[in-house]
């Protein structure tokens, strides 16, 4: 029976949090691995074991493990029952020699971990004895520092598991352990990366997008749908609120001076987002702002925007350079969608010379000529909700 052994970072798991973390990770894996042929996901001391059938596609299983936050690394493992008091290593060694037959390599090493110190041999003894057997049967050499293949052996609960490759997982914390946040997603490069960062730290992310219809095309909305759908591979389901923003912007344009418009738009976005966040029980609003990147992201303007909401505004990219953000967008697979041409609502009615220092009193003064409450209400009532799921319903 093939298994995947899943490891998480022990450091993140001090004391009482551990059981809770593990339970969340197991629940997520059970849901993520639905329809792949996996028959069991369970906790073993210090790791999680995923059992699947021999006809199950390892690629499918891997695809889910690679996108599950909380997974530090995983391996495809084979198992052999082992007697703790009088261990006979012969069947284990034979199984390993068979597994190595299809591999081209010159050197190897054996790295054993005992989850359970009741086992009568030490890890070092096991490494040596298994190594000697494999040298004799395969004719290959041991190299401790630069081995072509590292054979991992794990002795857990009366079973010896061995694996030939350890694959990296995405790390982070299991989805949902850090509760729910609402991300303002624009279809640009930055906000999807910001959403990813929060997901990685265990947040379930809900999305809101403000689009320029009826004045602009559906392009930004389609991009955002693609991006949100992309994230279902991490969080399995996702909710996206689509808020028509064109009329709200027009209202701002007609009634307020040009240089502070972008900040006024942003403050309206924050207010509407905050209302949605409350109904979705979100503890924070997430944006893709990075300090100084554009006129709306100067220290003064960020503060003036933040002031419009009372929930914490989380800006996970605040200290990143554009190039670093682009690299991350490429790595997580959002970049190609983000750079497709669209018409972001922020390009609608944009002043030629935006003010980089919109002070709160001036902005509040300008807002006195706007029916703020009814604009928020208009945004909320005209919002559409789109729901996404990795598994077809
Ligand atoms: P991005 O690449 O995420 O669009 P950006 O560098 O283009 O960011 P801005 O356009 O100034 O910067 O937007 C800053 C942040 O404001 C975005 O990262 C996003 O969180 C939010 N935002 C901007 N426009 C929208 C929108 N139309 N809908 C939802 N959120 C938006
Ligand atoms: Mg943008």
The per-residue pLDDT for range 73-108, each reduced to its tens digit, is 999 999 999 988 888 999 999 999 999 988 899 999
190 falls within a domain? yes
- Phi first, then psi: what are they for 13, rounded to 5°? -120, 70
In a domain, 175, yes or no: no
Residue 241: inside a domain: yes
From 168, 193, 217, the end of a domain falls on 168
Do 153 and 194 fall into the same domain? no
**342: buried, middle or exposed (CB in 10 Å: 19+, 13-18, 0-12)?**
buried
- For residue 191, give the ligand 1 atom closest to its CA: 3
In this structure, what are the phi and psi dihedrals at residue 211, rounded to the nearest 5 degrees?
-115, 160
Residues 144 and 197 in one domain: no
Based on the fold, state whether residues 67 and 120 are members of the same structural domain.
Answer: yes
Nearest ligand, measured from the Cα of 189? 1
- CB-defined site of ligand 1, < 6 Å: 184-186, 188-191, 209-210, 269, 287-289, 293-294, 296, 344-346
Domains held by the chain: number: 2
Burial of 194 (0-12, 13-18, 19+ CB in 10 A): buried
Q: How many A from CA of 362 to the centre of ligand 1?
A: 23
Same domain membership, residue 126 and residue 200 = no
pLDDT tens-digit series, residues 109-135? 999 999 878 888 999 999 999 999 999
> Which letter does DSSP use for residue 179 in this model?
-
Separation of 5 CA from ligand 1 center, angstroms? Answer: 40
Query: Is residue 339 one of the residues assigned to a domain?
Result: yes
pTM for this structure? 0.94
Cα of 232 from ligand 2 centre, angstroms? 22
In this structure, the answer to whether residues 156 and 253 fall within a common structural domain is no
pLDDT at 1 over 90: no
208 is written with which tokens?
Answer: 């809101």
User: Are residue 157 and residue 226 in the same domain, yes or no?
Assistant: no
To the nearest 10°, the Cα dihedral for 176, 177, 178, 179? 40
Domain of residue 79 covers 3-168
Same domain for 195 and 156: no
233: pLDDT strictly greater than 80: yes
**In the chain, pLDDT over 70 holds for what percent of residues?**
97
Ligand 1 pocket mutation pick from 184, 227, 339 by most atoms within 8 angstroms of CB: 184
Q: Which of 168, 199, 225 lies at the terminal end of a domain, its last residue?
A: 168
CATH number at 348 reads 3.40.50.620
The phi, psi pair for 173, rounded to 5°, reads -120, 150
Non-local CB neighbours of 314 within 8 Å, separated by 6+ positions: 181, 194, 198, 284, 285, 286, 287
Q: In the predicted model, is pLDDT for residue 283 greater than 70?
A: yes
Instruction: Please report, for the domain that includes residue 52, its CATH number.
Output: 3.30.2130.30
Of 132, 147, 168, the position where a domain reaches its end is 168
Instruction: Count how many Cα atoms sit within 13 Å of the Cα of residue 393 in the half-sphere of its side chain.
Output: 3
Beta strands in the chain (DSSP E): 3-7, 38-44, 47-52, 73-81, 107-114, 141-142, 149-156, 159-168, 180-184, 204-211, 237-244, 285-286, 313-314, 384-389
**In terms of domains, do 30 and 118 share one?**
yes
State the pLDDT at residue 346: 65
Nearest atom (ligand 1) to Cα of 338: 2
- 160 with 218, same domain? no
Per-residue pLDDT, 345 = 67
């Amino acid at each position: 029976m093939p298994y995947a052994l899943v490891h998480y970072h022990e450091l993140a798991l001090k004391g009482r949090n551990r059981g809770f973390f593990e339970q969340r990770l197991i629940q997520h894996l059970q849901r993520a691995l639905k329809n792949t042929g996996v028959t069991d996901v369970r906790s073993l001391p210090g790791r999680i074991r995923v059992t699947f059938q021999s006809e199950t596609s390892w690629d499918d299983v891997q695809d889910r493990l690679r996108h599950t936050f909380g997974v530090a690394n995983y391996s495809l493992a084979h198992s052999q029952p082992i007697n703790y008091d009088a261990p006979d290593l012969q069947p284990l060694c034979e199984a390993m020699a068979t597994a190595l037959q299809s591999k081209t390599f010159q050197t190897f090493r054996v790295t054993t971990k005992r989850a359970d110190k009741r086992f009568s041999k030490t890890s070092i003894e096991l490494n040596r004895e298994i190594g000697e057997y494999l040298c004799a049967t395969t004719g290959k050499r041991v190299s401790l520092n630069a081995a072509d293949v590292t054979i991992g052996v794990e002795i857990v609960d009366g079973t010896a598991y061995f694996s030939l490759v350890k694959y990296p997982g995405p790390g982070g914390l299991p989805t949902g352990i850090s509760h729910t946040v609402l991300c303002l997603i624009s279809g640009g490069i930055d906000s999807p990366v910001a959403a990813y960062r929060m997901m990685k730290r265990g947040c379930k992310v809900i999305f809101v997008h403000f689009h320029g219809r009826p004045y602009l095309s559906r392009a930004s909305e389609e991009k955002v749908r693609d991006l949100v759908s992309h994230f279902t591979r991490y969080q399995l389901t996702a909710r996206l609120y689509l808020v028509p923003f064109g009329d709200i912007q027009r209202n701002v344009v007609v009634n307020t001076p040009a240089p502070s418009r972008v900040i006024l738009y942003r403050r309206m976005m924050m207010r509407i987002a905050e209302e949605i966040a409350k109904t979705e029980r979100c503890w924070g609003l997430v944006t893709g702002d990075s300090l100084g990147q554009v006129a709306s992201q100067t220290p003064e303007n960020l503060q003036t925007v933040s002031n419009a909401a009372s929930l914490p505004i989380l800006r996970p990219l605040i200290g990143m350079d554009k190039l670093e953000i682009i690299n991350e967008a490429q790595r997580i697979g959002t970049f190609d969608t983000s750079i497709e041409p669209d018409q972001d609502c922020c390009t609608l009615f944009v002043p030629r010379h935006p003010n980089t220092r919109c002070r709160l009193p001036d902005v509040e003064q300008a807002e006195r000529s706007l029916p703020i409450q009814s604009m928020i209400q208009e945004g909320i009532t005209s919002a559409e909700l789109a729901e996404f799921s990795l598994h077809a319903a």
